[in-house]
């Protein structure tokens, strides 16, 4: 599956959230990661994140599609995540 | 089309970026909007954003699918964007 992940977490928990996301996904932009994961990897990622966040304060949203081919990505301004079309 | 928009723009331009995004999309989370747009609306949105951002400093990424049905959304922690499943 293709995953886009956005997080809005307290500053003190951001390092752990970032570290967890980096293990599974590519950094796109401030607060945004994306990448292709298996179902098992997605479950491992969300389990790891649930262990790190404060569910009464933090928020993480994931958007999943079956394939990156279903998603058209466009960048306005600079491409922070890397050179060219990372899909 | 279904659009997810994430922005990483300079603080001084954020109010204009926010105002422009709010005209077309629903606020999801810090730096994230989403919603359904026609092709004409999407073009109007990106044209308005290109007029507001500094393309040498700011970055806005849009992810588009033909339909929200192609996207599975999940929230960990609190749902900041509104009650329940906004899709």
The three-state secondary structure class of B67 is coil
Q: Is A8 annotated as a binding residue?
A: yes
- Quote the ipTM score: 0.87
Task: List chain B domain ranges.
Answer: 2-67
Beta bridge partners of B26: B34
- Which pLDDT tens digit goes with each residue over A1-31? 999 999 999 999 999 999 999 999 999 988 9
Is residue B10 a contact partner of residue B58, using CB atoms and an 8 Å limit? yes
Instruction: Compute the nearest-CA separation of B4 from chain A (Å).
Output: 9
- Which pLDDT tens digit goes with each residue over B34-85? 999 999 999 999 999 999 999 999 999 999 999 999 999 999 999 887 544 4
Q: DSSP per residue over chain A, as a string?
A: -EEEEEEE--GGGHHHHHHHHHHHSEEEETTEEEEE--HHHHHHHHHHHHHHS-TTT-EEEEEEES-GGG-EEEEEE---SSSS---
Which residue of chain B comes nearest to A8, CA vs CA?
A: B30
CATH of domain A2-67: 3.30.70.240
Instruction: From residue B74, give the alpha-carbon distance in Å to each of A6, B54, B86.
Output: 11, 32, 10
Instruction: Compute the nearest-CA separation of A55 from chain B (Å).
Output: 4
């Amino acid at each position: 599956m293709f995953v886009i992940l956005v997080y809005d977490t307290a500053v003190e928990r951001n390092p752990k959230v970032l570290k967890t996301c980096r293990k599974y996904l590519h950094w796109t932009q401030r607060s945004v990661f994306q990448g292709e994961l298996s179902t098992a990897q997605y479950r491992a990622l969300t389990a790891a994140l649930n262990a790190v966040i404060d569910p009464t304060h933090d928020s993480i949203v994931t958007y999943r599609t079956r394939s990156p081919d279903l998603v058209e990505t466009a960048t306005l301004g600079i491409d922070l995540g890397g050179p060219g079309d990372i899909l």
